[in-house]
Amino acid sequence: MSSKPREWKLEPASFVVVANRLPVDRVENPDGGAEWRPSPGGLVTAFEPIMHRRHGAWVGWQGAAASQELEPFEHAGLALVPVPLSSSEVEEYYEGFSNATLWPLYHDAIAPPQFRREWWDTYVIVNQRFADRVAEVAAEGAVVWIQDYHLQLVPQMLRRQRPDVRIGFFLHIPFPPTELYVQLPWRQQILEGLLGADIVGFQLPGGARNFVRLVRDRLGLETLRDRIRTRDGRDVLARAYPISIDAKGLHELAAGDQAAERAAEIRNDLGDPRVLFLGVDRLDYTKGIPERIQAFGELLAEGRIDPDHVVFLQLAIPSRQRVEQYRQLRDDIDRLVGRINGEVQRIGRPPIIYLHVSYPRVEIAAFYRAADVMVVTPLRDGMNLVAKEYVACRQRDDGALVLSEFTGAARELRQAYLVNPHDIDGLKDRMVEAMNDSSRNKAQRMRAMRRQVLENDIDKWASMFLDDLERLNGTPAAREAAG
């Protein structure tokens, strides 16, 4: 669904979310006008309900290169404040430093990170632009919540301009161990940038411990467990806040007639298989897509899975299509799927269906509802909300979740069929176990996981973070934002 932008008078906001992207994409029309469409992605999904309830302002890039600054506007009830990026800034700040330097480094260097000085220089410039924009938007004493690795310098930059505001920062991806992080030529600047926040939040306790250790060893700051004393005498809290989803809303969406009918259509279109395996991922080299496809292909070759009764459906949502590593990954997966399907000597539906396309939320809910076994096997992931979404969408105590040990979600969804995705033989065994396990065992596992997801939803995550921010630096604005 798209809509014309409606200008919004820029008024001071007591609660501000700052993210690399706005929750909408700007689409240019031939007549020079513009329309806005909701953006895909876990961050948007996670924050949209919070923003609606707190009536905050969202500061972010509009998703396309722009030569001029756009005015703030409202869309679907959200106050949005665009930050413009030029084509060269998109290439150097976003595709370069954010996604070719920080992303691989923070994900255990699964792909080699690239360190280019011109990318860093642009990262600094863009982070300063974000900080300037937030300084204009934030009311006196406002709560500002900055999101993710693209904007790690903004906390310090904003504090210099607006010492009155309360600043939280949350990292949605892993924070690496010292041995990896110290490769970064600008390691000190990033640490100091993050310390501009009052709270630095991480997905896992290990990430928080890595950060505390680094600021103690590299910056010489005094630390006590999860507290850091800065040189200007402030206390900064570094703590884990595992992110979650709007579990109730997603469960209700999957329970609706549209999702139910579509789930039945999906299974019918696939020939009503006895077992439907499903993978849903953004196309990324950290997600372990080739490994799980290889495992399934070997199960077919070994006769442990019957292609007449079992289908693997892999949805790969397009991502960073201008980055060479992602284009290469897509080609590699295309060839792997084609080879495996070609080796299964049968006429009719192939055993692996690979779709490289985005889907609306209700369609994804239908896929979750249709699947018998969900395969979530990243090589490294800060949390992974797909695993939680699958659990939330189940309408009965059935279904099975094969989950990588190297996701943050594995700490919470302990009843999943946990696996090391690098161990192809182990992955094969877990997939077969999940497929053939008794209904009783599956029901016990799913009930426990559903309870975990429903009791620890996105509201609880936000409340935990904002309540800590209030206690650390209590203000009326912080109390209002925390609800």
CB atoms within 10 A of CB 388: 29
- The answer to whether residue 476 scores a pLDDT higher than 60 is no
Return the closest-CA partner of residue 478 out of 37, 56, 39, 49.
Answer: 56
- Rounded-to-integer distance, Cα 63 and Cα 54, Å: 24
CA 272 to chain centre: 32
CATH topology of domain 247-455: Rossmann fold (3.40.50)
According to the model, what pLDDT value does residue 148 have? Answer: 96
Calculate mean pLDDT across residues 139-152.
96
CA 132 to chain centre: 26
The domain segmentation of the chain, as residue ranges, is 6-243+459-482, 247-455
Report the share of the chain in percent with pLDDT over 70: 92
- Rounded-to-integer distance, Cα 145 and Cα 428, Å: 41
According to the model, what pLDDT value does residue 11 have? Answer: 81
Active site residues: 172, 381
According to the model, what pLDDT value does residue 75 have? Answer: 83
Contacts of 331 (CB under 8 A, 6+ apart): none
- Rounded-to-integer distance, Cα 158 and Cα 268, Å: 54
Calculate mean pLDDT across residues 312-322.
86
Do 6-243+459-482 and 247-455 agree at the fold level?
Answer: yes
What is the β-pairing status of strands 222-224 and 138-147? unpaired
CA distance between the termini of the chain: 30
Contact in structure between 274 and 407 (CB atoms under 8 Å) = no
**Residue showing tokens 């696939």:** 270
Task: Report the range out of 314-328, 352-366, 405-419 with the highest average pLDDT.
Answer: 405-419
Domain 6-243+459-482 matching CATH 3.40.50.2000: the answer reads: yes
pLDDT digits 0-9 by tens, 417-455: 999 999 999 999 999 999 999 999 999 999 999 999 999
According to the model, what pLDDT value does residue 5 have? Answer: 53
pLDDT digits 0-9 by tens, 148-173: 999 999 999 999 999 999 999 999 99
Report the share of the chain in percent with pLDDT over 90: 76
Three-state DSSP string of the chain: CCECCEECCCCCEEEEEEEEECCEEEEECCCCCEEEEECCCHHHHHHHHHHHHHCCEEEEECCCCCCCCCCCEEECCEEEEEECCCHHHHHHHHHHHHHHHHHHHHCCCCCCCCCCHHHHHHHHHHHHHHHHHHHHHEEEEEEEEEECHHHCCHHHHHHHHCCCCEEEEECCCCCCCHHHHCCCCCHHHHHHHHCCCCEEEECCHHHHHHHHHHHHHHHCCEEECCEEECCCCCEEEEEECCCCCCHHHHHHHHHCHHHHHHHHHHHHHCCCCCEEEEEEEECCCCCCHHHHHHHHHHHHHCCCCCCCCEEEEEEEECCCCCCHHHHHHHHHHHHHHHHHHHHCCCCCCCCEEEECCCCCHHHHHHHHHHCCEEEECCCCECCCHHHHHHHHHCCCCCCEEEEECCEHHHHCCCCCEEECCCCHHHHHHHHHHHHHCCHHHHHHHHHHHHHHHHHCCHHHHHHHHHHHHHHHCCCHHHHHHHC
Cα distances (Å, whole numbers) of residue 187 to 42, 182, 219 = 27, 6, 10
- Rounded-to-integer distance, Cα 384 and Cα 386, Å: 6
Cα distances (Å, whole numbers) of residue 418 to 75, 391, 408, 429 = 40, 15, 12, 11
Radius of gyration (C-alpha) of the chain in whole angstroms: 23
- Rounded-to-integer distance, Cα 426 and Cα 404, Å: 11
- The answer to whether residue 296 scores a pLDDT higher than 90 is yes
- The answer to whether residue 474 scores a pLDDT higher than 70 is no
According to the model, what pLDDT value does residue 6 have? Answer: 57
- The answer to whether residue 1 scores a pLDDT higher than 70 is no
User: Which one-letter amino acid corresponds to residue 46?
Assistant: A
- Across the chain, mean pLDDT equals 91
Contact in structure between 376 and 365 (CB atoms under 8 Å) = no
Calculate mean pLDDT across residues 44-66.
79
According to the model, what pLDDT value does residue 327 have? Answer: 83
